Amino acid sequence: MKNKAFRLIASSLTLRKIAKPKRNITTGCQVDWRHHIIEQTEVSTNHLTPEIPLRLITRNCPLWHQKEDESVFKDPFWAFYWPGGQALTRFILDHPEVVRGRSVLDVGSGCGASAIAAVKSGASQVTANDIDLVAIEAIHLNCELNSVTIATSLDDLIGSQNRGNWEVVFLGDMFYDRNSQIECMSGQDLCRKFNIYR
């Protein structure tokens, strides 16, 4: 790949398209995800990037102790700061030159930590992408905690033909399901997918 070509970096993050509250099918009421996230998580700096406070599920949170059928959330992956995401975010903060002045896409952004680190490290534009509406809301809350603004997208960028023009793509903590589309892609396919050859 040429110098100007894309850099594909592993990560876990999510950023926010302002989402309409989801309607609860049973009651017809709208679900206030922001309220539930605040109620069920706590602000934590007990991770590899303590300079980025995040709303996460910890042992102190009610959600940690709930059974699946007791939780308002289905699969709250966004509420955990996965090891790969922590390592990537630490790398970005320690090596800001990787993103400084560049456009960044964080696919599967989750809690948004890597995207937040990219903004703090001087990226010219950052988009956090996640297909989970609640993750997008969590990213927004974490951006507020860190006094940053990030564009977000709910689009399925892995499963669609959508191509962007990003100089850096974070993609990590997404290789956990052998049946997923991303698991079946080669490095070259991923580079083509995100239009990283220039």
pLDDT in tens, 63-89: 777 777 777 777 788 888 989 899 999
Q: What distance, in Å, lies between the first and last C-alpha atoms of the chain?
A: 9
**Alpha carbon 155 to chain centroid, angstroms:** 13
Measured distance CA(146)–CA(51) in Å, rounded: 9
Measured distance CA(54)–CA(2) in Å, rounded: 36
Q: What pTM did the predictor assign?
A: 0.76
Q: How confident is the model at residue 3 (pLDDT cuts 50, 70, 90)?
A: very low
Q: How confident is the model at residue 33 (pLDDT cuts 50, 70, 90)?
A: confident
Which residues pair with residue 106 across a beta bridge?
128, 170
Tell me: pLDDT of 151 over 80. yes
* Domain containing residue 142: 1-198
Residues 130 and 109 sit within 8 Å (Cβ to Cβ): yes
Question: Of the given ranges (32-41, 75-84, 154-163, 169-178), which has the lowest mean pLDDT?
Answer: 169-178
User: Which residue, 142, 109, 113, is CA-closest to 34?
Assistant: 142
Provide the CATH number for the domain around residue 32: 3.40.50
Give counts: helices (H), strands (E), the chain: 6, 9
Question: How many distinct structural domains can be found in the chain?
Answer: 1
